[in-house]
């Protein structure tokens, strides 16, 4: 395959990561429906090998709660999935750790919107989808986790979004997505991949042994919802109060602070 902006960096990604994940491989494909779906398919067939699968183009990507994530033209976005066996005491907060790791490697201005979005200047820059699959028979607590990541390198044009962004509550027009080029001018998708993967693997492995609590203070520094009025997808509204030790969102609703898990609702600023 002719070298591309991703393949040119694949070897460096492998060299900087293989010592952390023995047997680790890096694959780059020109086009795929969904990197997460492909790695989940392999997991269901019994594959345990740690692998990073990156795509120049993703045509049927998936986001949280069934939302789509489609990459634009090659080089204008970065889409990849990381699969590795993991057995944490608790899975709670993993998507927050992934977002935090990415933000810390990308730019100081990036913020985190609970539970799985990267934000730049109050606009969505990227998203995260975490899925797990059972590994073999009788493997207590051992699962393969597949972490899917999509990051806009260039700011997508409305014509590339496939649909008009959903309006915010109250009828206010939704803000268009952001692009990393706004703060990292000239940085390519391949350079971005090389910048984030080693730290991401280290942070996920630390999460396995120490849980979300080891990252809570760092997450708080980038929590864009803190002390913001928020609306939950079930209609409730309240004031966000950060997250607890498990990564659940704390929301003051009518004077009572409630812990909200990502499996229950989605959340957006009012």
Which residues are the active-site residues? 64, 124, 268
Report the C-alpha gap between 177 and 157 in whole angstroms.
9
The neighbour count for residue 99, using CB atoms within 10 Å, is 26
Q: What is the largest CA-CA distance in the chain?
A: 60
For residue 105, the Cα-to-chain-centroid distance in whole angstroms is: 13
């Amino acid at each position: 395959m002719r070298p591309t902006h991703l393949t040119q960096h694949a070897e460096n990604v492998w060299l900087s990561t293989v010592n952390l994940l023995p047997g680790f491989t890096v694959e780059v494909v020109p086009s795929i429906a969904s990197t997460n779906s492909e790695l989940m398919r392999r997991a269901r067939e019994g594959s345990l090998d740690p692998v990073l699968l990156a795509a120049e183009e993703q045509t049927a990507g998936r986001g949280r709660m069934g939302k789509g994530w489609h990459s634009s033209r090659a080089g204008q976005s970065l889409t990849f999935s990381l699969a590795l066996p993991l057995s944490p005491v608790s899975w709670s907060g993993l998507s927050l750790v992934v977002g935090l790791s990415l933000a810390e490697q990308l730019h100081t201005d990036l913020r985190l919107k609970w539970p799985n979005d990267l934000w730049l200047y109050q606009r969505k820059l990227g998203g995260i989808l975490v899925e797990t699959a059972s590994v073999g028979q009788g493997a207590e607590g051992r699962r393969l986790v597949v972490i899917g990541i999509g990051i806009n390198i260039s700011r997508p044009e409305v014509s590339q979004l496939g649909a008009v962004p959903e309006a915010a509550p109250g009828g206010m027009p939704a803000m268009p997505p952001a692009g990393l080029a706004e703060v990292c001018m000239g940085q390519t998708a391949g350079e971005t991949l090389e910048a984030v993967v080693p730290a991401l693997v280290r942070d996920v492995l630390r999460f396995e042994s120490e849980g979300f609590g080891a990252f809570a203070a760092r997450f708080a520094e980038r929590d864009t919802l803190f002390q913001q009025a928020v609306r939950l997808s079930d209609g409730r509204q309240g004031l966000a109060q950060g997250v607890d030790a498990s990564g659940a969102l704390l929301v003051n609703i009518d004077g009572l602070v409630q812990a909200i898990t990502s499996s229950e609702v989605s959340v957006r600023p009012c």
